[in-house]
A and B are shown apart, each in its own frame.
Chain A
Amino acid sequence: DAGVIQSPRHEVTEMGQEVTLRCKPISGHNSLFWYRQTMMRGLELLIYFNNNVPIDDSGMPEDRFSAKMPNASFSTLKIQPSEPRDSAVYFCASSWGGAQGHGYTFGSGTRLTVV
């Protein structure tokens, strides 16, 4: 298994531009999570999906952020318009087993820099 695949690995964009981050979860996993990591706040959950349905988006910072999961093998996180304070590493993770907890697998992350 190739694991959780994220693209791009690095993204540098200008303030005001739209940014789209992509994630392919592990086949068979039914939950997908988007996390953001900064030095100040550590790892924060933005949103998670179960069976392609958004379950909890309370961590999405504001309306500029949106996420979709059109099918079991693909998800996007979009920021429009982007701002310098959005600069962070964005991780995608997937898991199976629901609340019983069978562990997460994380992707390698996308390092976003907004200038």
Chain B
Amino acid sequence: KQEVTQIPAALSVPEGENLVLNCSFTDSAIYNLQWFRQDPGKGLTSLLLIQSSQREQTSGRLNASLDKSSGRSTLYIAASQPGDSATYLCAVQGGSEKLVFGKGTKLTVNP
């Protein structure tokens, strides 16, 4: 059974800092990995999707990497801003269409 772990559970940083969120998964047989953002009381917004054949994806100040063999992914946020404050969720898709989620990292960026 696939399990996804995100560390740390919460992170607080000053504005402008570069930061890394970590995600690990137990079964490396995945089709893709997706990072989402969730604001309080809101739904999930897809940030980046990395196919299993890819190593990384970039969107603006966000960069996500994938090391399938070691079961790890990182989300790098450059020059963090208060508007980046949210919960970031990592999810993997395996042999079926199901996404298995981690419990997220709650990020607070202080002005």
Contacts and interface: CB of A to CB of B under 8 A. Distances in A.
A104 B99 contact: yes
A29 B27 CA distance: 27
A55 to B, nearest CB: 7
Contacts of A88: none
B46 A48 contact: no
Contact of B43 (A33, A50, A108): A108
A79 B99 CA distance: 23
Given A99-B31, A101-B32, A42 B44 contact: no
Interface string B86-111: 00010101011111111110000000
A7 B95 CA distance: 30
Nearest to B103: A42
A42 B101 CA distance: 8
- 9 smallest A-B Cβ distances: which pairs? A101-B32, A43-B101, A106-B44, A42-B103, A108-B43, A101-B31, A103-B49, A106-B43, A101-B93
Given A99-B93, A106-B46, 19 more contacts: A31-B97, A33-B98, A42-B103, A43-B89, A43-B91, A45-B99, A45-B100, A48-B97, A55-B97, A91-B43, A93-B99, A99-B95, A101-B31, A103-B32, A103-B49, A104-B34, A104-B99, A106-B45, A108-B42
Contacts of B98: 33, 45, 48, 56
A56 B45 CA distance: 24
A100 B100 CA distance: 16
A105 B36 CA distance: 10
A42 B97 CA distance: 19
B96 A100 contact: no
Contacts of A25: none
15 contacts: A33-B99, A43-B89, A45-B98, A93-B99, A95-B97, A99-B93, A99-B97, A101-B31, A101-B32, A103-B34, A103-B46, A106-B44, A106-B46, A108-B42, A111-B41
Interface in A84-105: 91, 93, 95, 98-105
Contacts of B42: 108-109
